[in-house]
Amino acid sequence: MKRIAIIGSGHLGQQIAYHIHHDSNDKVIAFFDEFQHVNTIIDDIPVIGGNNDVITKYQQNEFDAILIAIGYKHMNAKKELFQKLDRKVPFHTFIHSSCYKDPSATIGQGSVIYPGCVIDQNVSIEENVLMNISCTVAHDSVIGKHSFLSPSVAIAGFVKIREQCIIGINSTIIDNITIAAQTHIGGGGVVIKNIDIPGLYVGNPVRYIR
């Protein structure tokens, strides 16, 4: 059994803890949260410090590995925390047992793959990515670091999504597309050509909003 700590005790952190507890032998034994008092108990899991306490608590053998549960509204913080902890604290990688992952696919450290996802041949899911329920990533595609895929995203083959992207619920990205870093695709968006300028894109096909 691995003892997991999660940065972020909100709904996302609680969801991840739930899936780990119900789908693995590992145990979430602590939260870190800047906005909760130490020793606050959330779903039977204590908050043991803030973000600046993670390295010290690891060195004190309080936990074995860390996950970052920061939602899509705080992508810069998600990236900065990962970079701060990288090579100082081990990251956990969680892939729900209901997912299909081809043996040739790779999933980077700190990533969380929710139930029902399909990860096809030669796919690369990079570090600190969250894939919500029932996402499909087809062959030879790359999901960049620190990105967030909402439920039921469908990504075709040979797609490259750069880092810190947010792909909204039920979005579709056709094959051979590249999406610039820090791009947000709104829910139900259909991407049919490359996106070179970061921003918010919505619609079918998507158009730049801001």
Q: Which of 99, 144, 112, 160 is nearest to 7 (CA)?
A: 112
Strand order in the sheet with 190-191: 100-101, 118-119, 136-137, 154-155, 172-173, 190-191
Question: What is the rounded radius of gyration, in angstroms, for the C-alpha atoms of the chain?
Answer: 17
Q: What is the mean pLDDT of the chain?
A: 97
Q: Which helix (H) or strand (E) holds 18?
A: helix 11-23
Catalytic residues, which ones? 139
Structure tokens that stand for 155 in this block: 């990504």
45 neighbors 32 (Cβ within 8 angstroms): no
Read off the pTM. Answer: 0.95
Q: Does 71 show up as a binding residue in the annotation?
A: yes
Q: From CA 45, how far away is CA 5, in angstroms rounded?
A: 10
Is residue 189 scored above 90 in pLDDT?
Answer: yes
Domain ranges of the chain: 3-85, 95-198
Q: Does 169 show up as a binding residue in the annotation?
A: yes
Q: State pLDDT tens for residues 169-184.
A: 999 999 999 999 999 9
CATH class of residue range 95-198: mainly beta
CATH class of residue range 3-85: alpha beta
Q: How would residue 73 be classed by pLDDT, with cut points 50, 70 and 90?
A: confident
Q: Which of 175, 164, 171, 174 is nearest to 199 (CA)?
A: 164
| 161 phi and psi angles, rounded to 5 deg | -105, 120
Place of tokens 């918010």: 200
Q: Do domains 3-85 and 95-198 have the same CATH topology?
A: no
Q: State pLDDT tens for residues 141-160.
A: 999 999 999 999 999 999 99
152 neighbors 168 (Cβ within 8 angstroms): no
